[in-house]
């Protein structure tokens, strides 16, 4: 996972890589800088090959470990140990401070007049209307995209995982669909976005009408982050005994009623995790949508990239902090909602005595 994400990453080398070329930024230069889509596609295939190889190796290794796990295994709960717990706390604190330090640096950079010469606090950098024709529209577009992706994507992913995991149809067909659900994990975002251009921009395509609209950004984002959500849903569904469906069928209860009244309540934590994962990634995604946005569908993450290219680093930090605060707020609301719905998870708790 680390290899694939680093090898295909676009945002970090684009912003701080300088003149150090990587394949991800080279695709961007070919398509956006020179409008050479054919060469961009060639570089995309080169970028795709190592990612697919690493993905295949991961699947082979994971297949050997399946037999070591059980869906009915009881979660291990270690007993308190002062020395070990303090050591783990110290390690996590160091990691947390590094992350908070990075965010604090960006937050500080967004409120100073001119780094590093004039450190007088100011909120003028948050006046996006003064530097960008879209102004706050990019942030509003990101909120719309994230909300729609979280709602529709969660419904699509969880329903699809349920049909694959709980249906009794063709095993080969289910296996093929399962493989297709895993493929997006190995496809770099830039390659995915470029392929969307070639496919949806064709005038003969009946789906051409969604090109340069919010719909294509939503479809692209859901497909880009589909695999992790699918694995989360599948893992949650494996913990529910198949006898629920068998008993429901014997009582002539429709499967959709069992799905809505039993499966969904039991899997609510996983459903909420999928929703927040899609929301946060939709707010922060760059590589998959950098080729697909239009003047009316520009996103906050794209605005950060453009501001940085224009030398407006403080404004880019300001927009980035809005993304961070929004994602953190939604994550906090998700945690509160998960606590309120905790009564549906009493069956997971270990019985004492």
Is it the case that residue 353 has pLDDT exceeding 70? Answer: no
**126 and 307 in contact (C-beta within 8 Å)?**
no
pLDDT tens, 129-138? 888 777 889 9
Is it the case that residue 58 has pLDDT exceeding 60? Answer: yes
Reported confidence tier of residue 69, pLDDT bands at 50, 70, 90 = very low
Closest C-alpha to 128, from 115, 142, 118: 142
77-to-15, 349, 352 alpha-carbon distances in Å: 43, 11, 12
Is it the case that residue 325 has pLDDT exceeding 70? Answer: yes
> Encoding tokens for residue 133?
């024709």
Residue 279 to residue 286: CA distance in whole angstroms: 14
Q: Which tops the pLDDT comparison, 182 or 317?
A: 317
Reported confidence tier of residue 180, pLDDT bands at 50, 70, 90 = confident
Is it the case that residue 248 has pLDDT exceeding 80? Answer: no
Q: Which of 45-59, 75-89, 106-120, 339-353 has the lowest mean pLDDT?
A: 339-353
Q: Given this model, what pLDDT does residue 16 score?
A: 85
pLDDT tens, 37-49? 788 888 888 878 8
Q: Which tops the pLDDT comparison, 43 or 241?
A: 43
Residue 311's region, left for phi above 0, alpha for psi from -120 to 50, else beta, is: left
Q: Which tops the pLDDT comparison, 101 or 163?
A: 101
Residue 11 to residue 31: CA distance in whole angstroms: 16
Reported confidence tier of residue 343, pLDDT bands at 50, 70, 90 = low
> Encoding tokens for residue 113?
């007049």
The single residue listed with the structure tokens 């999928």 is 274
Is it the case that residue 351 has pLDDT exceeding 60? Answer: no
Domains of the chain: 84-122 (no CATH), 125-343 (1.10.3720.10)
DSSP string of 34-99, one letter each residue? T--HHHHHHHHHHHHHHHHHHHHHHHHHHHHHGGG--TTPPPP-PPP-HHHHHHHHHHHHHHHHHH
Q: Given this model, what pLDDT does residue 221 score?
A: 94
Residue 200 to residue 207: CA distance in whole angstroms: 6
Is it the case that residue 304 has pLDDT exceeding 80? Answer: yes
Q: Which tops the pLDDT comparison, 100 or 37?
A: 100
Is it the case that residue 212 has pLDDT exceeding 60? Answer: yes
pTM of the model: 0.83
Torsion over CA: 326, 328, 331, 336 (sign) = negative
């Amino acid at each position: 996972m680390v290899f694939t994400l680093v090898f295909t990453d676009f945002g970090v080398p684009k912003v701080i890589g300088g003149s150090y070329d990587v394949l991800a930024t080279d695709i961007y230069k070919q398509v956006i800088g020179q409008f050479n889509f054919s060469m961009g596609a060639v570089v995309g295939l080169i970028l795709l090959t190592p990612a697919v190889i690493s993905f295949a190796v991961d699947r082979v290794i994971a297949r050997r470990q399946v037999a070591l796990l059980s869906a009915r295994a009881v979660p291990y709960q270690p007993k308190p140990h002062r020395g070990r717990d303090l050591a783990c706390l110290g390690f996590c604190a160091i990691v947390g401070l590094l992350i908070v330090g990075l965010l604090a640096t960006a937050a500080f950079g967004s409120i100073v007049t001119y780094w590093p010469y004039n450190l007088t606090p100011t909120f003028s950098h948050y006046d996006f209307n003064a530097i960008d024709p879209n102004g706050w529209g990019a942030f509003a577009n990101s909120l719309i995209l994230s909300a729609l992706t979280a709602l529709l994507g969660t419904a699509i992913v969880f329903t699809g995982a349920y049909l694959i995991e709980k249906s009794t149809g063709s095993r080969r067909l289910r296996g093929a669909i399962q493989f297709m659900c895993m493929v997006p994990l190995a496809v770099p975002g830039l390659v995915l976005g470029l392929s969307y251009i070639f496919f949806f921009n064709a005038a003969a395509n009946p789906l051409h009408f969604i090109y340069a609209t919010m719909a294509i950004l939503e479809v692209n984002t859901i497909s880009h982050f589909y695999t992790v959500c699918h694995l989360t849903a599948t893992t949650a569904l494996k913990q529910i005994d198949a006898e629920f469906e068998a008993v429901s069928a014997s009582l002539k209860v429709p499967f959709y009623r069992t799905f809505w009244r039993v499966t969904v309540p039991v899997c609510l934590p996983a459903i909420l995790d999928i929703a927040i994962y899609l929301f946060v990634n939709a707010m922060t995604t760059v590589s998959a949508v950098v080729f697909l946005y239009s003047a009316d569908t520009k996103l906050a993450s794209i605005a950060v990239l453009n501001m940085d290219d224009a030398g407006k680093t403080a404004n880019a930090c300001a927009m980035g902090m809005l993304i961070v605060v929004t994602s953190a707020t939604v994550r906090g609301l998700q945690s509160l909602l998960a606590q309120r719905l905790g009564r549906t998870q009493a069956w997971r708790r270990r019985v004492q005595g």
